[in-house]
Structure formats: structure tokens, C-alpha cells
């Protein structure tokens, strides 16, 4: 269907797909037809990984939270649970993320600032005191030091009496996107991939219901890539991890079902929904055809989809409440399993309890009042949506093919090429926002100058919390069995040097209250530290 007119401006979405004024059945056919739609709960899962979706079980609500020390964070966790949150998404401070103990000179000023400080198993025990880990699943948003924090979480759960073989939960543990996006790396690229493989292999044998990797297209999107690239690059990264584990002799059906995704939402509603529908079908195709999976669960794209911080604005921050509601709507229409929303003040500070509750209520309102749980994939059958879904899937495959032509995602990251590409796109996007070419309400259009100066409530950085954390660390070091500590660190070093899976040694070290920094420094002796390539 043409639907064109000389007086209509051209519309191209962020992924580079031209949008027509009108769509009909011939557009669906031209873009690839309906063969790839299928039914919910059946291959290729375009319409959802479960047959009944939210009609049977609504999405899990998992707000991102964590700050100060474990005592502070435990209080926030309990506040969110009391207000109806059904999952926890844990933020860690930069020291923990980069493998530093709280008393390391490099951690000064960062202890507990942007997340919870964790130094030893005792901190993990305090953070989750009084929380039922069978009723509340926990996601650990940690990457460079993920192997250690996964070990701590499993050891903590075991010590509290839980059966680790039945324990559910997730760790972000996507180190390749850290090289592209956020930058909290520790080790070079190849040993970093090896550590991810260690966690997948260990969990497959010891904690088969735990998800040791949540591939994070979210942060790649926040760093500058478009929606189609977000999914395509995430799939390239996931394949790199899958290849690492398959090379160890594990069958794809032994671990693929526990891979998950953390994906982003901001921007055009229809493009975002099509992105997820297309991504689900493409991931199922990849796992079935390229990896020869037999179990349909291995083909599921299991995801948390949340309102992207990159879409929020410092200007007119209350408008972010509206943005968050639309992001949550997109997430529900997209068929996510877990939802999270950035709070309206998150553009400039750690959310207050008040703003976090608004985000939680937004998700609850959508669940209870809008009919989003009544039927599966209500967008299906739209000429526009089905055409765009086909086009987005084609665009993703095109991007993935281009990555392969350039040597694969690992080589591109090692050379700094993917980082340079994404950074360049972020720069261009900022230029487009500054010029007004990309509209942003309250920023470059619909500004109200007299309202630009507004009071904001910043989350205070409490140096006393950091001091208490360091004192707690000193107490642990003074009270633990140093002989056991030395023995565990020697074993960890030996296993790393021999190329063995280091997770068993990490878990034993964790139980001896060896610290994050001590284990990290031991592995750095063998693996080295990453030095970022600069590409112009």
C-alpha cells in the first residue's frame, strides 16, 4: 500500500526503517508475511514465550535499588517489598563492581555512593536478612566481579538453609557490554569471557535454576546504539558466551534455558514493541538452527524490559512520570517477563522512596486497571506492527551479519571498533537533540523557561555509612581464620593459573570470608588487567 503524498515529510525511525503513512495486508506480505508469527508459547515465540502470558501470571516487578551499606539497602528492599514489589534488582557501588574492597585507596569517595557496598559474605548476609529468597527472586546487577558475587549469593542462600539446586535468581554478568558501554571491567577480554563461561558451567551443574548471565542490551542502547542494534549486538554477545560454554562440552540444552536478557525501553512505542517481538523470534531461530537446540525452553528469550534512564530528562522532571508510564506500557505490550522502571528523579539522583513508589504504583496500575493482562499479544494482527516486526528482524540479521564480516563481536571489542561506533552514534544523537532535529519535550521543544530552575531532592552521600562499612571490613579480617583464607586464595590462584573453572575455589573462598578485593587481586595476578584501546 503506497499511502504516499508529496506534502508529507519523510519519517524514519531510529533503527533506520522508513515509516509509511498507511499500512495494509500487502505491506505485511511484502515484508515477509505472517509465517514467522506463530502462536504464543510455541516456536518461534514471536507472540510470547508462554501460552497464556499475563492471563496466567503477570510480570514480575523488579525495581533497581541499593545504596550505602548493606543495612541501608536491606531497609530499602523491605520497603519496596512491603509496597508490593515482587522481585529485587540489586545495585552495587563502583568499588564492588570493579573488584575493590571498601578500604582500598581507589575506592575513596565511592563506597556506597551509587549502590550497595559489598566486601564479604557477611555483607551479603546482612543485605538479605529477613527476605524470603523463595518468594522474592533477586537479580544482581554486577559484571566485572560477577563470579565472586554469584558465589557469595549462592553461599549466603545455602547458609540460610535454601536448596541451591532449586534457587532462582539472576546475575547480569555481561562483561562484553561493559567494554562497549559502562566500563566497569577488570580483566582483559579473553579471561573475562572465560569467567562468564565458568559461571554458566558451574550453575548448570550446581544451581540449574539460577540464571548466571543476563545479557544487557540495555546499556549498549544507553551508550548510543539504536533499537535494532541493541538486540543484534546483544545476540552477538550471547552467542560468544554460548560458544565458550559449548567448547567445554556442554550441550546447548544444558544451559541456554537459563540465559536471560536485560533490555531497554525509550523512544517510539511501535518500534520498541516490534523490536521485542522480532527479537524473540530471531533468538529462537538462532538457538534452534545454529545451535541445534531441541528443548523449546532453550529458545525462549527471557527478559527484563525496563524504562530506560537515557530517555529521562533533568528538565521538567515530573514529565518523566508520564514517560515512565509509557515505557511500562511498551514493556507490557512487548511481552516481558519482568518489568522495571527508572523513577522520575533518576536523571539526577538515586531515587527517593517517594519516587520509587510512584514507579511501582505505575506498574501496578497497568496490571490492575488497564486490561493489559486480559489477552496475549494485543498488538498482533496490526498491519503496521506485523510489517515493522518483520522489518526489524531483517535489520537485526543484517547487523549481525555485518559484525561477523568484521571478525565477530569479540574481535571488534578487543580492537575497540564497536566501542568507537557506538560512541560516535551517541555523539550524533546529542547533536541532534541540541539542534532540535530529535525532539525531546522540555529540552528542545515545549520548554517553559521560568520553570527551568526547580528544586530537586538529591540523595545525600553519607560518609558515615562508608566509615561503618570499612570498620565492618576490619572486623571481618580480624575475626576470620587466616589460615583458611590463605589456603583458599592459594587454591584460587592455582586454578586460575591452570585454566580450570575457578567457581568452586571462589565459593570456598567466599565461605571463608575472603573479600571481593582479595579474590580479585589474586586473579589479576594471573589474568592481568584490561587496558582500553582508544579508537578515533
pLDDT at 170: 96
Q: What is the mean pLDDT of the chain?
A: 94
Residue 1 confidence (pLDDT) above 60: no
Tens-digit pLDDT profile for residues 284-296: 999 999 999 999 9
Q: What percent of the chain has pLDDT over 70?
A: 97
Most confident of 6-15, 214-223, 350-359: 214-223
User: Taking the model in full, what pTM does it have?
Assistant: 0.95
Tens-digit pLDDT profile for residues 142-164: 999 999 999 999 999 999 999 99
- Four-way CATH pick for 62-370+406-451: 1.10.150.120, 3.20.20.70, 3.30.200.20, 3.20.20.240: 3.20.20.240
What is the rounded average pLDDT of the residues 117-124? 97
pLDDT at 5: 54
CB 32 within 8 A of CB 25: no
Grade residue 6 by pLDDT with cuts at 50, 70 and 90. Answer: low
pLDDT at 458: 72
Number of H helices, E strands in the chain: 19, 12
Grade residue 8 by pLDDT with cuts at 50, 70 and 90. Answer: confident
Give the cell for residue 324: 515512565
Map out the domains of the chain as residue ranges. Answer: 62-370+406-451
Classify residue 8 by burial, with Cβ atoms within 10 Å: 0-12, 13-18, 19+: exposed
CA distance from start to end of the chain: 43
Cα separation of 388 and 275, whole Å? 8
pLDDT at 456: 67
Rg of the chain over CA atoms, in angstroms? Answer: 23
pLDDT at 172: 95
Q: What percent of the chain has pLDDT over 90?
A: 88
Judged by DSSP in three states, 310 sits in helix
Q: Which residues contact 132 (CB under 8 A, 6 or more apart)?
A: none
Residue 99 confidence (pLDDT) above 80: yes
For the chain, the residue count is 536
pLDDT at 455: 67
Cα separation of 125 and 115, whole Å? 16
What is the rounded average pLDDT of the residues 407-433? 95
Report the DSSP pairing between strands 11-12 and 18-19.
antiparallel
pLDDT at 178: 96
Tens-digit pLDDT profile for residues 422-466: 999 999 999 999 999 999 999 999 998 776 566 667 777 778 889
Please list, residue by residue across 206-237, b when 16 or more beta carbons sit within 10 angstroms of its beta carbon and e when fewer do. Answer: ebeebbbbbbbbbbbbbbbbbbbbbbbbbbbb
Classify residue 461 by burial, with Cβ atoms within 10 Å: 0-12, 13-18, 19+: middle
Cα separation of 366 and 304, whole Å? 16
Amino acid at each position: 500500500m503506497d499511502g504516499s503524498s508529496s506534502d508529507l515529510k519523510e519519517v524514519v525511525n531510529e533503527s533506520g526503517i522508513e515509516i509509511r503513512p498507511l499500512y495494509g495486508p500487502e505491506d505485511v506480505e511484502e515484508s515477509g508475511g505472517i509465517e514467522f508469527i506463530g502462536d504464543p508459547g510455541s516456536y518461534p515465540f514471536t507472540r510470547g514465550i508462554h501460552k497464556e502470558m499475563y492471563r496466567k501470571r503477570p510480570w514480575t516487578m523488579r525495581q533497581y535499588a541499593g545504596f550505602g551499606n548493606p543495612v541501608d539497602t536491606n531497609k530499602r528492599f523491605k520497603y519496596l517489598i512491603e509496597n508490593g514489589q515482587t522481585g529485587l534488582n540489586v545495585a552495587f557501588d563502583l568499588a564492588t563492581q570493579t573488584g575493590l574492597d571498601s578500604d582500598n585507596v581507589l575506592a575513596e569517595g565511592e563506597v556506597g555512593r551509587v549502590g550497595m557496598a559489598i566486601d564479604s559474605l557477611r555483607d551479603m548476609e546482612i543485605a538479605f536478612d529477613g527476605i524470603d529468597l523463595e518468594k522474592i527472586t533477586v537479580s544482581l546487577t554486577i559484571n566485572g566481579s560477577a563470579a565472586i558475587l554469584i558465589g557469595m549469593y549462592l553461599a549466603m542462600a545455602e547458609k540460610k538453609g535454601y536448596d541451591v539446586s532449586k534457587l532462582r535468581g539472576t546475575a547480569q554478568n555481561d562483561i562484553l557490554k561493559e567494554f562497549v558501554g559502562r566500563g566497569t571491567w577488570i580483566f582483559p577480554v579473553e579471561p573475562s569471557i572465560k569467567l562468564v563461561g565458568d559461571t554458566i558451567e558451574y550453575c548448570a551443574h550446581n544451581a540449574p535454576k539460577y540464571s548466571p548471565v543476563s545479557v544487557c542490551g540495555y546499556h549498549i542502547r544507553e551508550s548510543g546504539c539504536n533499537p535494532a542494534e541493541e538486540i543484534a549486538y546483544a545476540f552477538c554477545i550471547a552467542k560468544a558466551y554460548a560458544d565458550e560454554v559449548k567448547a567445554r562440552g556442554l550441550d546447548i540444552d544444558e544451559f541456554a534455558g537459563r540465559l536471560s536478557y536485560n533490555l531497554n525501553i525509550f523512544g517510539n512505542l511501535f518500534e520498541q514493541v516490534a523490536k521485542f517481538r522480532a527479537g524473540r523470534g530471531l533468538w529462537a531461530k538462532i538457538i534452534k538452527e545454529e545451535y541445534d537446540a531441541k528443548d523449546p525452553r532453550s529458545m525462549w528469550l527471557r527478559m527484563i524490559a525496563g524504562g530506560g534512564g537515557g530517555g529521562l530528562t533533568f528538565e521538567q522532571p515530573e514529565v518523566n512520570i508520564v514517560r515512565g508510564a509509557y515505557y511500562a506500557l511498551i514493556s507490557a505490550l512487548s511481552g516481558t517477563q519482568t518489568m522495571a522502571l527508572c523513577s522520575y528523579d533518576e536523571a539526577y539522583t538515586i531515587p527517593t522512596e517517594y519516587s520509587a513508589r510512584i514507579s511501582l504504583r505505575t506498574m501496578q496500575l497497568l496490571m490492575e486497571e488497564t486490561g493489559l493482562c486480559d489477552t496475549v499479544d494485543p498488538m498482533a494482527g496490526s498491519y503496521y506492527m506485523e510489517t515493522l516486526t518483520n522489518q526489524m528482524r531483517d535489520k537485526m540479521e543484517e547487523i549481525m551479519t555485518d559484525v561477523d564480516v568484521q571478525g565477530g563481536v569479540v574481535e571488534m571489542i578487543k580492537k575497540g571498533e564497536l566501542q568507537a561506533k557506538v560512541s560516535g552514534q551517541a555523539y550524533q544523537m546529542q547533536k541532534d537533540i541540541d539542534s532540535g532535529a530529535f525532539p525531546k519535550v522540555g529540552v528542545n521543544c515545549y520548554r517553559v523557561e521560568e520553570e527551568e530552575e526547580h528544586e530537586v531532592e538529591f540523595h545525600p552521600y553519607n560518609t558515615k555509612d562508608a566509615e561503618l562499612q570499612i570498620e565492618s571490613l576490619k572486623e571481618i579480617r580480624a575475626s576470620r581464620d587466616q589460615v583458611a583464607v590463605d589456603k583458599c586464595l592459594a587454591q584460587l590462584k592455582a586454578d586460575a593459573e591452570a585454566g580450570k573453572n575457578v567457581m568452586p575455589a571462589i565459593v570456598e573462598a567466599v565461605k571463608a570470608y575472603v573479600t571481593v578485593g582479595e579474590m580479585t587481586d589474586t586473579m589479576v595476578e594471573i589474568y592481568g588487567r584490561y587496558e582500553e584501546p582508544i579508537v578515533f
